[in-house]
Structures are given as structure tokens and as C-alpha cells.
């Protein structure tokens, strides 16, 4: 908000900018109910899962995305030692062949299990698009349909392409679906709406953790 700010990739975020990607009254009610549920002080929402941060990294580009995730995880360990760090790196799992290309089913299962177990923040670095993460489909809308993490709603931070593209009303994206899913998904997402370069996401991570620590 200051003079000359916003001209570099290292500026801080000083105001909240966001949207609820709802198209109907029912969707709006569902999102409202999720926010109300997340803010409640019951045993399910105030459990120890909120002390966990999960880092997910894609495998291509000479392990660039794993290196990015490692840097972010190291930052959390140094500056926010109260959090437990969990890592799910695609390259650590066995790949299988399918008619549409390589798949990583064990990594996909690990992500779903981590969501069901609960984490305050899910951070993803890697390739992606409107329908999910990675060329090996480690996270897709089909996976979201199997989530029933009603009381364990994470904040998603994704350094990927188009996961939150919101301006095509006939084609909801994975990011939108995570917010509007009534019985699970995410409580909030920091993500991209178009193609993106591999820029640092440390500022978003700091913002999220500072908010969670309040």
C-alpha cells in the first residue's frame, strides 16, 4: 500500500484480498456454515491437528519444487517451532503407468490421508492446473469428493498454475471446489488464477502462520 510497493516479488501483503467463489444461495450458506464451524471452540476444531503444516512437492524440473518445499519447511522450523512439519514429496513414491501417462497413486493416497488426519496449512509447490496438482495427478477433484474433513479444514497455499481460476462460470476449478465443498475441503486458499512462474511463496506462508498464531 506504500509508495512504489508492488513493483517487486518480495513485497509484503498488508491488506486482505479475497473472494468467496459462490454462485448460488446454497453454496453461500454452505461456505458460511464452514466458516462458522471452523471458528467454533469445540474439541474437533481445537485439536492438535492445528499444530501440523504439510508440505507437498512435485517431482519434475530437476527437483526444483522439492527444494522450494525444503526451504519453506526449514523456515517454519526456525521461525515457528511450535508447528510440526510433515512432508509429502512426489519423488519419494513409486510411479505406475496408465493409459493417460504416469501416475503416483501412493502419493495421492498420502495427501488424502494427511487431509483427513488434519493440518493447519497445506503448502504445494509444483505443476498444476484448473483440475488439480501435478502431471501425475496427485490431487484431483475426484479426490476432493472422498474427503469428509468437516472439522479439520486446512488453509491451502499453492505455487502452481490456474488452480484458482474463477472467471469461467461454466467450469469451476479445483480451488473453487475446495472452498464450496460443504462437508470438507479447505477453509481458505492462497493460489493463482493464471499461469505462474516459480516465485517464492514465503510471504504467503508467513501471513498464514501469523494469522493462525493470533
Q: Which domains does the chain have, with CATH numbers?
A: 51-212 (3.40.50.1460)
Q: Is the pLDDT of residue 149 over 90?
A: yes
Rounded to two decimals, the pTM is: 0.83
> What pLDDT is attached to residue 49?
94
| Interatomic CA distance for residues 64 and 84, integer angstroms | 23
CB 84 within 8 A of CB 53: yes
pLDDT tens, residue by residue, 76-132 = 999 889 999 999 999 889 888 887 778 889 999 999 999 999 999 999 998 888 888
**Mean pLDDT taken over the chain:** 84
Counting residues of the chain whose pLDDT is more than 70, the rounded percentage is: 83
For residues 116 and 44, give the distance between their C-alpha atoms in angstroms, rounded to a whole number.
12
Report the pLDDT value the prediction gives residue 170, as an integer from 0 to 100: 82
Q: Give the per-residue pLDDT at 4.
A: 66
Position 1 scores a pLDDT of: 59
Paired with 85 in beta bridges are: 53
In this predicted structure, the answer to whether residue 21 has a pLDDT above a threshold of 70 is yes
Least confident of 60-64, 81-85, 162-166, 170-174: 60-64
Are the beta carbons of 57 and 187 closer than 8 angstroms? no
Amino acid at each position: 500500500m506504500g509508495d512504489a510497493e508492488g513493483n517487486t516479488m518480495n513485497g509484503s501483503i498488508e491488506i486482505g484480498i479475497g473472494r468467496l467463489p459462490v454462485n448460488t444461495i446454497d453454496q453461500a450458506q454452505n461456505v458460511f456454515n464452514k466458516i462458522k464451524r471452523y471458528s467454533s471452540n469445540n474439541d474437533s476444531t481445537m485439536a492438535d491437528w492445528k499444530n501440523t503444516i504439510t508440505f507437498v512437492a512435485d517431482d519434475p524440473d530437476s527437483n526444483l519444487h522439492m527444494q522450494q518445499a525444503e526451504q519453506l519447511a526449514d523456515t517454519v522450523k526456525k521461525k515457528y517451532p511450535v508447528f510440526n512439519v510433515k512432508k509429502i514429496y512426489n519423488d519419494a513414491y513409486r510411479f505406475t503407468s496408465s493409459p493417460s501417462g504416469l501416475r503416483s497413486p501412493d502419493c495421492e493416497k498420502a495427501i488424502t490421508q494427511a487431509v483427513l488426519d488434519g493440518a493447519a496449512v497445506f503448502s504445494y509447490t509444483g505443476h498444476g492446473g484448473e483440475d488439480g496438482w501435478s502431471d501425475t495427478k496427485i490431487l484431483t477433484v475426484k479426490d476432493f469428493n472422498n474427503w469428509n474433513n468437516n472439522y479439520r479444514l486446512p488453509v491451502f497455499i499453492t505455487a502452481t498454475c490456474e488452480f484458482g481460476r474463477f472467471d469461467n462460470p461454466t467450469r469451476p476449478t479445483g480451488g473453487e471446489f475446495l472452498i464450496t465443498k460443504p462437508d470438507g475441503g479447505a477453509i481458505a486458499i492462497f493460489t493463482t488464477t493464471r499461469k505462474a512462474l516459480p516465485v517464492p511463496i514465503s510471504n504467503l506462508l508467513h501471513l498464514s502462520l501469523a494469522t493462525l498464531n493470533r
